[in-house]
Amino acid sequence: MRIPPIYNITSEMIELLGKIEAIKQYLSTINIPFNIRQKIQRISLLKSSLYSAKIEGNPLTIEDYKDSPNKIKQLEIHNIETAIDYIFKLKLKTIDNLLIKTIHKIVMNNIHYQAGYFRREMSAIFNQVGVAVYVCPPPNQIEPLTSQLANYINSSTEKFPLIKAFITHLVFEKIHPFLDGNGRVGRLMISLICQIDNYQFKPHVSFEESLNENKNDYYYSLDIGLKNPNDYLLFMLKTFHNQAEKLKKEIELGINKKNVVSLPPRQEEILEIIKDHKNVSLDFIKRRFLKIPNRTLRYDLRKLSNAGLIIKIGRTKGSFYKIV
């Protein structure tokens, strides 16, 4: 396996990188009220964790994550959140195999018995009907290959952090160093490279959300990535740019909204649920807040309505709430 694969920075890639950089600079200079910045950052980090797990088949949503009876699925998301927090606190400028294993240990904590250890057996990547579409390198090649990948990351060979991050993700998935959790850790490698190279968006871009929306194309681009790295890079750049644009619009909407109010956490969460689902009934909200009395939820909805953030449609049991 050649690390990195041979790729070219095309004019289309340069244009996308320029657009992404423009959004990054805009978000770093615009005056975003603290409550809006804090809220969007918190939700974006949760979405990164949730959608990274969802790509791997986790069914939980923002609405049912915290109260889900499925503790393993809940733990999958929690562990990714913990790993993101760990990465964002790193002050390192280089990586090594130990750091990769540490991130895997966090992600697979209390989920897999080999958390933090490279695999010791052969592995393959299978398609949806169970046919092996890629045979991974044997165990005795994992340490040398991940060391080569670390050398690429630590070098100044690639001047664009996002290109380096996406190439790292591709190569990592092809090495497939762990028995389980490679997808989740591989996507975290993107955040890791951006952290090391000081290329962070503030607030965070929940890139994984767009990857999940385009999951088939994402898997296809990974599948052909080593043979056609330029096509893979274009897909990743376009997807990242789309999510960055979403973030920009979300922030502008929050800033331009009349009567911006600082809401208690539960009311913020209810507002986000209504935003995500357009039309929401009280029963739907109750399923998300099983331990909260109905009268308290009605009070929260009334406060949101009085603040001009939502409106109630109808007066019967069939009534619902929507964003103004």
186 is in an annotated binding site: yes
322, β-bridge pairs: 279, 311
Is the Cβ–Cβ distance between 261 and 272 less than 8 Å? no
> Which pair of structure tokens corresponds to residue 207?
């890139």
Q: What distance in Å separates the CA atoms of residue 74 and residue 93, rounded to the nearest whole number?
A: 32
Residue with tokens 């994992």: 142
Is the Cβ–Cβ distance between 43 and 174 less than 8 Å? no
187 is in an annotated binding site: yes
Q: What distance in Å separates the CA atoms of residue 100 and residue 312, rounded to the nearest whole number?
A: 49
DSSP 269-304: HHHHHHHHHSEE-HHHHHHH-TTS-HHHHHHHHHHH
Is 176 a known active-site residue? yes
Q: Is the backbone of residue 278 left (phi > 0), alpha (psi -120 to 50) or beta?
A: left
321 is in an annotated binding site: no
117 is in an annotated binding site: no
184 is in an annotated binding site: yes
323, β-bridge pairs: 310
DSSP H helices, the chain, are 11-29, 34-55, 71-88, 97-107, 142-154, 161-175, 182-196, 207-213, 215-224, 229-256, 265-277, 282-288, 294-306
Identified catalytic residue from 78, 104, 169, 176: 176
232 is in an annotated binding site: no
- Sheet with 320-323: strands ordered across: 279-280, 320-323, 310-313
Task: Say which residues have a Cβ less than 8 Å from residue 62's Cβ, sequence separation at least 6.
Answer: 43, 46, 47, 50, 272, 273, 276
180 is in an annotated binding site: yes
**Binding-site annotation, residues:** 180-187, 218-219
Which residues are marked as active site? 176
Question: Known binding site for ATP: residues?
Answer: 180-187, 218-219
